[in-house]
Amino acid sequence: MYFDPKDGMRPPPFKHSVYNALVVPRPIGWISSISRDGAINLAPFSFFNALAGAPPCVMYCPNGFKTGTKEDKDSLINVRETGEFVYNMCTIDLLDAMNATSAHVPSSVDEMKAAGLEAAPCEQVKPPRVKNTPIAMECKVLQIIDLPANEGTPPNHMVIGQVVGIHVDDDVIVDGMIDARKVKPLARLGYLDYAAIMPENVFSVPRPD
Ligand SMILES: Cc1cc2nc3c(=O)[nH]c(=O)nc-3n(C[C@H](O)[C@H](O)[C@H](O)COP(=O)(O)O)c2cc1C
């Protein structure tokens, strides 16, 4: 089949918006930020990725408004105010906590505490990182780009940050490399589906040259 996205994301026979199932698996950027008043925010973003390596940059997309409101998401408001955020790796062990932090709660709520997570301090930015994640990257905002929004729909944005500090749990370093078998990253598929990189799914392929 073929369809034009301007006719909507649910052409027959699709029962739900299909877009989230078209680019999979997607990494989950679990983004911590802090408000001007010091409230800690944590939320998952699967419109997330690494962009460049030298210097390292990442991006995430806070799209739409908070459910049932006409307010931007806290993960956008906070970085506009402070210019800082932290990428936390989401692993299979953190699935339930990650899902809990996708709930829309008042911006004054400490979302790390609410999800039963311990916060750890960062070196160069104010927002804390998730203590139990094996990988976290401290970021300073480079640019916030407005993305097109369909008529009558709330705005979409891309936040690009430069990585200024990297935390790696020593336990996931094996033979001088990060071992994905130990990290067990979580990925988002379409709809409400996820996949985890489990040890038996990891393999190496030598380059041809
Ligand atoms: C796995 C997962 C991925 C998500 N990815 C995105 C995303 O890429 N962009 C987005 O705007 N919302 C995404 N959401 C929804 C946000 O996490 C949710 O709107 C969150 O409450 C935003 O919180 P905030 O207002 O504290 O920033 C995702 C939710 C889940 C569970």
What residue ranges of the chain have pLDDT lower than 70? none
For residue 123, tell me if it sits in a domain: yes
Mutate to test the pocket of ligand 1, among 20, 58, 75 (most ligand atoms within 8 A of CB): 75
How many Cα neighbours within 13 Å face the side chain of 176? 0
For residue 6, tell me if it sits in a domain: no
**What is the distance in A from the centroid of ligand 1 to the CA of 7?**
25
For residue 12, tell me if it sits in a domain: no
Q: Please give the residue range of the domain that contains residue 128.
A: 27-197
User: Which pLDDT value is given to residue 35?
Assistant: 96
pTM confidence score: 0.97
Three-state secondary structure call for residue 127: coil
Taking phi over 0 as left and psi of -120 to 50 as alpha, with beta for the rest, 188 belongs to beta
Summarised one tens digit per residue, pLDDT across range 165-193 is: 999 999 999 999 999 999 999 999 999 99
Rounded Cα gap, residues 184 and 80, in angstroms: 32
For residue 7, tell me if it sits in a domain: no
Q: Which of 149, 131, 130, 129 is nearest to 139 (CA)?
A: 129
**What is the distance in A from the centroid of ligand 1 to the CA of 149?**
17
All residues at 6 or more sequence positions from 42 whose CB lies less than 8 Å from its CB, including other chains: 30, 31, 32, 88, 101, 111, 112, 115, 117, 130
- Token pair 């699967």 is at which residue? 46
For residue 206, tell me if it sits in a domain: no
**What is the distance in A from the centroid of ligand 1 to the CA of 204?**
32
Residues with CB under 6 A from ligand 1: 28, 41, 43-47, 61-64, 66, 73-75, 99, 102, 104, 188
User: Which pLDDT value is given to residue 117?
Assistant: 98
For residue 205, tell me if it sits in a domain: no
Number of domains in the chain: 1
User: Which pLDDT value is given to residue 63?
Assistant: 97
User: Which pLDDT value is given to residue 204?
Assistant: 96
For residue 134, tell me if it sits in a domain: yes
Q: Supply the CATH number for residue 59's domain.
A: 2.30.110.10
For residue 117, tell me if it sits in a domain: yes
User: Which pLDDT value is given to residue 202?
Assistant: 97
User: Which pLDDT value is given to residue 113?
Assistant: 96
Contact 45, 36 (CB under 8 A): no
Q: Which of 55, 51, 141, 48 is nearest to 88 (CA)?
A: 48
Summarised one tens digit per residue, pLDDT across range 107-116 is: 999 999 999 9
